[in-house]
Structure 1
């Protein structure tokens, strides 16, 4: 360990965006990449051509990008109101902050709330790992609670106890995903009631990265809840994972603080242009959602028939696959074996402690994945 580096960083594990593809073992050369919750569909050629023209004719490479993001924030506000069937003027640019992916916004929120020993965060595992990773890299405490093993609902009793008993520093931020990743379940009525009853001294961050697939949003409650912030992204349904554009919706005072914290010129001009083009052509881009949902339901239907597999309902563009309890084998070792066999045959999925998260791909990718998974299970059971 270098002597000038914080000693606690030696114990952390860096986030690996494509962990499945980092291997020295022989694998198929062409992967079906179903491990990162991206859209399987690239931008249509006409939109790529429009962006290429923008890059050539509009963007001045020698100039800094639009540091205030005003045009994009106005377009996002219009979409937020439209997508939630709200009054067109309810949310404006003053309610929007834009980040280099949602990760930057999460980091900014942590900086604005918990630094200098002023707070810790609460997460319910399993969930999106970057909340905890980003907090730890900033020296912020992470309090974790579990979830119900059947329906993945947050252990609300444990969560409430943690909030009441955690002091020096107290819990300042609660992170939830709606629907959750990797388990794909929506927030329940009980979870929502608990969030609504939390003290206004606690920031509630609701990550709606998969909103376009679930069509469940809580933005309509933001006007009455200044301690709530909703995160969204262009990386999933809008097909812009390569552009790294995320945004949040919140009370103008919270947005003003985030604007103080974020780095200047945090988004390249090309990313800003891509997000604007995506919003201007949202009907075209979002038209693929129905196909993804149909493919998801077909995948769940087939997987549910396998006697050794357990898959739960999904409100997102992925499914969470577990092994049914079996005393003749070790769950973790078997999951690793399945993951490896899928990888060797050409399908990348996300290996987690309790299961496999499989992103919904194209019809062809899903057909291959089913065949490879069934073959892997047959090899294991024989």
Structure 2
């Protein structure tokens, strides 16, 4: 029979060592029920603000989202530095400004500010077209710039503007064209200018696309003419001082001369002559255009045009009369142009020429 082992009472040191080991292996239990921990955690995560402040915060979050959406659609007015805006990129307002109207506009802006924001967009070619390109508001921007210059650059440094999104740009340009057609009526040159600049700034891929979109309600024949007006601006827009004053017939004749290869001759003529009026500018271009067209029908040849053999450079006289020599297949002609040219003057010139010829 096995001998039973006698149990011994552990010492105080042994009991202490056992308790310390047990404490290391276990974690103390919370004296609270588990649901108390859940409630405490939920309370720590809840909004401590009162009800009216929580409602105000919710409205602020909704307003911020609405603002982001409006800004993305170009519906938010921002103040832009006037020097960051290129006014000749997509300006659809008429370029011929009346000084009396501009003075009235400057007074209004100086007293009340700009009431109606301009429209701009961020072009895809900022190096060429500027940081912001103008869609509408040419007069307002011009007036603010003049006021800024008058103040020595200290005031009127910004202007309120809508920054239109690229996906709405074409619609904005079309709307501006329609507004100007209704409000004042664009000149023939301005119609072509609008189409040419829209292509330059990437709104449309080609002049055909621009004309078809901007003047969709016009007849096929009228759209064809606008393409000719666009050609005039593309080739001579930086040289013409009185482009908007050109008539439809003049624009079409200039376009014909350009297509005949006389663009460089026209540019040189415009560069070498100082013009003070629309009539002066046309007198500079007309000889080159007539050279491209021929000198008109010759009745003796059944209406066939007489071929110009040689044409001298126009000579501008002190009284703004332009004189040139024209040699055709059957003789010479002296052509006089200018505001002072009339029947009386021509009769005097004829008498002088008759006197000179009879003395020979």
Q: TM-score, normalised by structure 2?
A: 0.23
Bigger share in helix: 2
Q: Which has the larger radius of gyration?
A: 2
Q: TM-score, normalised by structure 1?
A: 0.22
Q: Looking at both structures, which has the greater relative contact order when contacts are Cα pairs under 8 Å and sequence separation is at least 6?
A: 1
